[in-house]
Amino acid sequence: MKFKVKAMDITTGNTLVAILNSKDAAKFDLHVLDRIKIRKNRKNIEAVLDIGKSLKAIPSGSIGLFEETLEALNAKQGDIINICLAKKPLSLQYIRKKLDGGTLSKKEIEEIINDIVNNRLSSIELTYFVSACYTHALDTKETIMLVKAMVNCGSTLKLNKYPIIDKHCIGGVPGNRTTMIIVPIIAAAGLTIPKTSSRSITSPSGTADTMEVLTNVCLNLNQMKRVVNKTNGCIVWGGSLNLAPADDKIIKVERPLEINAESQFLASIMAKKMSVSSTHILIDIPVGKSAKLEGMKLAKNLKKDFIRLAKKLKRKIKVMITDGSQPIGNGIGPALEARDVLYVLQGDYRQPNDLRKKSIEMAGKILEMGKKAKPGQGKKKALEILESGQAYKKMKEIIKAQEGCITDSENIKLGRYAYDVTSKKSGRIKYIDNKIITRIARVAGAPKDKKAGIYLYNHIGDRVKKGDKLFTVYSDGKEQLKFAKEVVKESSAIVLK
């Protein structure tokens, strides 16, 4: 069956999609979500079919191709292509098996991950896989097989070094930019730490967004390797590296559902760590009201799961349960967080003590794991590296190696427009809501507007007087700041007693 290509100028996000009008689809007995094979010259792909009723949108004899499908087929507007019905992916049988509570084999998991990576599953079908793993959690054996399948379907960073250090925070706490202080401390100590980080999806800033204020984070695998070999460390965006690519596609489905299949969550983190060949891993689990994990029991169970999985994967791991009851640091948003990081590294009097303290404690644990400090002496060693200026010097080396130029806190620009939020009474700060702080910062424009965000003047336990500034909201847009003000008025980000 021959059809003329119509470019739809729409992106699906990943899935390969084609669309026919309802009359052509009925003529060939094709239905929504059928698979079709599309051939252009010697190029063949499979796509998911959608159907439109408007002949104006999709004329008879035409086939609409979404951007990913056009690119995969190397096609353009007006090209003539051939289509025929294709079989549904075998992985759908395995997803159905998991929905029914069955246990998946190595081959079945590999088939599912391969189809996810190659965009053979629609977003609905991928959602069913996520839901199946949420309803019927993967057992330890299945989780290990999932980790290995996710690693094998992408690129891997190969380094002729040992040990290779990595760290990860499960998230949920604004401003928690310990990575950008830990990496230069560890690298300055002579250990190798190739850190891949994420961009924000729901937070005011991811580590990659914050690091991007100072330097380039979009490196390919070879560039990343050169930086690590030169400086012992890096902080780059994982999305540009094709490391465990199935993970990113699964996360996109999990976010709107607001579900977190624990087995997938564990597999996701460990796959990213294994893709950079890490041998020693530190995991940060913040716990507190309005954090991602609010209960200590859940945190302790998760810690046990991480330790059990790491042992099976032959990785050394240390899991720290930390205070997630309030934001870490003073700055919330890419530029404000980057400034906090440089304040700490430069030893500036404006450095946030909580961020400094947490970073030193975590770096100390890593130094002990990597045999650069004796048990119980890690914090002291980390503090020496930080206070001597070695960590700041190393950070400047990493920034330069990643083709950046901002190494001084004074060179970081904040939003042109600002709004001060003051205390309506005197008292002691009882509670700071992570979720409301996050919402205000995002409405102000963060992380897309890197200069937007919030600067906190106080933390839990601090005493304030009526009229004292609690926080300042920054934005580069007047309208954005106006919307942020409305959120401030509608909610209680900081509660006094």
Task: Indicate if 132 and 81 belong to the same structural domain.
Answer: no
Which long-range CB contacts under 8 A does 223-231 form with residues at least 24 apart?
224/157, 224/194, 225/157, 225/158, 225/159, 226/401, 227/398, 227/401, 227/402, 228/157, 228/159, 228/192, 228/194, 229/159, 230/397, 230/401, 231/187, 231/394, 231/397, 231/398, 231/401
Number of domains the chain is built from: 4
Task: Indicate if 192 and 271 belong to the same structural domain.
Answer: yes
Residue 429: its pLDDT value, please?
97
In a domain, 142, yes or no: no
Residue 260: its pLDDT value, please?
66
Query: How many CA atoms lie within 13 Å of 173's alpha carbon, on the beta-carbon side?
Result: 25
The CATH number linked to 430 is 3.90.1170.30
Q: Which residues contact 142 (CB under 8 A, 6 or more apart)?
A: 103, 104, 109, 263
Q: In this structure, how many other beta carbons lie within 10 angstroms of the beta carbon of residue 318?
A: 19
Residue 265: its pLDDT value, please?
87
From 358, 375, 409, give the residue that closes a domain: 409
Residue 257: its pLDDT value, please?
65
Residue 50's domain spans which residues?
2-86
Residue 42: its pLDDT value, please?
86
In a domain, 227, yes or no: yes
Residue 349: its pLDDT value, please?
96
Residue 338: its pLDDT value, please?
98
pLDDT under 50: residue ranges of the chain: none
In a domain, 428, yes or no: yes
From 44, 61, 86, give the residue that closes a domain: 86
Residue 259: its pLDDT value, please?
65
What's the whole-model pTM score? 0.88
In a domain, 157, yes or no: no
Task: Indicate if 172 and 283 belong to the same structural domain.
Answer: yes
Task: Indicate if 399 and 426 belong to the same structural domain.
Answer: no
Task: Indicate if 219 and 293 belong to the same structural domain.
Answer: yes
In a domain, 25, yes or no: yes
**What gap in Å lies between CA 449 and CA 444, rounded to an integer?**
8
Residue 369: its pLDDT value, please?
97
The CATH number linked to 128 is 1.20.970.10
